[in-house]
Amino acid sequence: MTNQEGVTILVTGGAGFLGQHIVKELMEQEVFPVKEIRSFDIQPFKWHHGLHPSKNSQKLYHIEGSICDPAALTQACENVDVVIHNCSCVAFGAYPNRKSTRAVNVDGTENVVDACIEQNVECLVYTSSIEVANDLKKPSVNASETSVTVPAINPIFHVYSKSKYDAEKMVLTANNKTLKNGKKLRTCALRPCGIYGEGDHILTTNLGYFLNAGIAFRIGEPSGKSQYAYAGNLAYSYVFAVKSLLRPDEKTDISGEAFFLGDDTPIYSIGELVSHFAKALVAETGTATPPYWLMYTIAFFLTVMCWLVSNLKYWEMPFHTNAVRYMFGEYHYSWEKLQRVLGYKPRYTYKEAFDRTITYYEHFFGLNNKSNQTKKQK
């Protein structure tokens, strides 16, 4: 499909956290020629600090629109060769808004598939999640795409997990569907783990608490392990996925397949990961770890309170009983298939990723001074 002019790629959710990293990596890669990159998002596009690409910025065009608007989405897909469907409603709270989560994650994905068929888009890469495989009743230790049950019987973040699974299944089922011009649609799904990096808005919340207190506390047992990776490395894997879909005659045809994503970031507990970043930003770090029973008890009462008011007013509360079980559990996955089939290697080392992230956090919290440079991980 590729030619000297290059391909046109549409990234839904392109103005968001992972979306901007995907756009940046597409601009800077030299694996295949790119003619144009379109970002499609409900919010304006503004580069996060430290993310502006080193080249090819003239190829980026931003379209403000919603994937819940089929007409706008179909128009945005005109003359597009590849769609990276990255737009999602992330809902980790105790009682998330089921209607909006399904509307964006499932109905919006259906709109994307329909737009691809209508506009003869031959390649579709879907951003799924490792949450489609997480199970409250059993750990996932270096699990592979074939060793886990999808969907999990007991998903941790039930509303979000189910919506992502349904959307992933929809995209993979759409593989080999006939387009308007008679050609076939090729699809794949990528399952990112927890993400850190420029533009992060989840870990920054926890770090903000630590900075205000002047001390970092560890939450969760060290034995509980969660998988995190640098956004730039996860975004770089999309380059290899697009390459494979564009060149289906190669040995590595990934049509209809799903992949867990990852990089060389150590498998930490969530508390250890946050503590590593906090140490680089604050002078003192606590070593005490609140026990599981205490954390669960607090979360239980907060969860009940959230349930009591949920019928009157929407209350986004990320700290709840399932979240505590997740923090004390073990959930990490192998990305060996990504390496073996696609030839993926992380673009950034863990040290580079850590330092780039700390630079962003310093800017975000207004801590840009030389004294912080000595706190960066060596």
Give me the active site residues, please.
164
Query: What's the CA gap between 238 and 124, in Å, rounded?
Result: 11
- Residue 53 CB contacts under 8 Å (≥ 6 apart), including other chains: 23, 24, 27, 28
Query: What's the CA gap between 195 and 130, in Å, rounded?
Result: 11
Provide the token pair at 221: 């047992």
Residue 25 and residue 232 in contact, taking contact as beta carbons nearer than 8 Å: yes
DSSP tally for the chain: helices H, then strands E: 12, 14
Q: Which amino acid is at 263?
A: D
Question: 302-331: buried (b, 16+ CB within 10 Å) or exposed (e) per residue?
Answer: bbeebeeebeeeeeebebbbbbbbbbbbbb
| Cα–Cα distances in angstroms (integers) from residue 273 to residues 60, 205, 268, in the given order | 34, 14, 6
The percent helix, strand, coil of the chain (3-state, each to 5) is: 40, 15, 45
Tell me the chain's radius of gyration from C-alpha atoms. 21
Residue 36 and residue 83 in contact, taking contact as beta carbons nearer than 8 Å: no
Query: What's the CA gap between 306 and 315, in Å, rounded?
Result: 7
Sign of CA dihedral 360, 47, 60, 167: positive
The 10 Å Cβ neighbour count of residue 186 is 24
